Amino acid sequence: MRVMRAVQAKEFGGPEVLAVRELPEPVAGPGEVVVDVAAADVMFLDTRLRGGWGADFFSIDPPYVPGGAIAGVVAAVGPDVDPVWVGRRVSTATAASGIGGGSPIGGYAEKALAKADTLVTVPDALSLPQAVALAHDGKTAFAVFDHAAVQPGEWVLITAAGGGLGTLLIQLARAAGANVIAAARGAAKLELAARLGATAVVDYSEPDWSAKARAATRGEGVQVVFDGAGGSLGEAALAVAADAGRFLGYGAAAGEFAGVDRAAAEARGIAVYGLFDITGADIDWHALAERAHAEAAAGHLEVVIGQTFPLEQADRAHAAIESRAAIGRTLLTV
């Protein structure tokens, strides 16, 4: 039996439950491939699941290997998969993962299983770490941004602006001719947002941040809110929206989605869209992923990878995310 190195959560708990183990190498079944992993995405969701959250949504029992997205080179294919994939650079969800179903597991490893129909070929101009940093955020950013239909001259507020998705949305909004107010925590994230083109930045660890954000628009409010923070921060962001604006709540970096008072929003003519309103069944996720790769490869989008860690330091990667110290995407490299 061939073995590989993988990070395993031996039980639910803090980052210290993560440790490298030798596990059997995966074998591709029908419709599957084995990927030699170069980099694995580390999500906020991974830290929540490791801590024991989400039993009502995900069927995960320790010990398990975390990680729902990888990039690398296809090493082997299942019996019904075109062998042309072997040797190709790809990014993909793991076989166990999937939008609207599955569990984000299996990625923190030297080798991982993926479904052949989720493979996205990585352009030569894009590195594998860049590709996996876009695996979740790239297609989600375009889905959210397309839904908002941002117009030139509009004001846009982005919460969690220093994260992987927020940094992409700043760039997309600026390219569309919008004025961007970036809301994040701490000087480093605000400096990054300003460098990426934000018109104004506000620190939402300060109690009066929403008033400062609205003041940046001379009191008129923003036409679009992209809320990646959720929780009370997302609720406060609604106050920055102008009447007849659009509020898109897709993130829960604060720990939960924003509990927006939809009746109050409707009274002001504000359209409120939650994650499932945005990520409908009619979205071609594969096409959005290829679009994100193409834009980044062409230099139109900067992929912000704030910190990388080797497999042996997966605990440090989780700790960085939980401390809110992480900027952009956090990756494990193999």
Instruction: Render each residue's pLDDT in the chain as its tens digit; 334 residues.
Output: 899 999 999 999 999 999 999 999 999 999 999 999 999 999 999 999 999 998 888 889 999 999 999 999 999 999 999 999 999 999 999 999 965 568 999 999 999 999 999 999 999 999 999 999 999 999 999 999 999 999 999 999 999 999 999 999 999 999 999 999 999 999 999 999 999 999 999 999 999 999 999 999 999 999 999 999 988 998 999 999 999 999 999 887 766 777 788 888 899 999 999 888 888 778 999 999 999 999 999 999 999 999 999 999 999 999 999 998 899 999 999 9
Domains of the chain, by residue range, sit at 3-121+304-333, 136-278
Instruction: Yes or no: say if 156 and 174 are a contact pair by the CB < 8 Å rule.
Output: no
Domain 136-278 class, CATH top level: alpha beta
The span from the first CA to the last CA of the chain, in angstroms, equals: 21
Instruction: Reply yes or no: is the peptide bond before residue 63 cis, omega within 30 of 0.
Output: yes
Cα–Cα distance, 57 to 68 (Å, whole number): 15
pLDDT recorded at residue 101: 66
User: What homologous superfamily is domain 3-121+304-333 in, according to CATH?
Assistant: Medium-chain alcohol dehydrogenases, catalytic domain (3.90.180.10)
pLDDT recorded at residue 260: 81
- Here the tokens at position 301 are 């989008």
Instruction: Yes or no: say if 318 and 187 are a contact pair by the CB < 8 Å rule.
Output: no
Amino acid occupying residue 223: Q
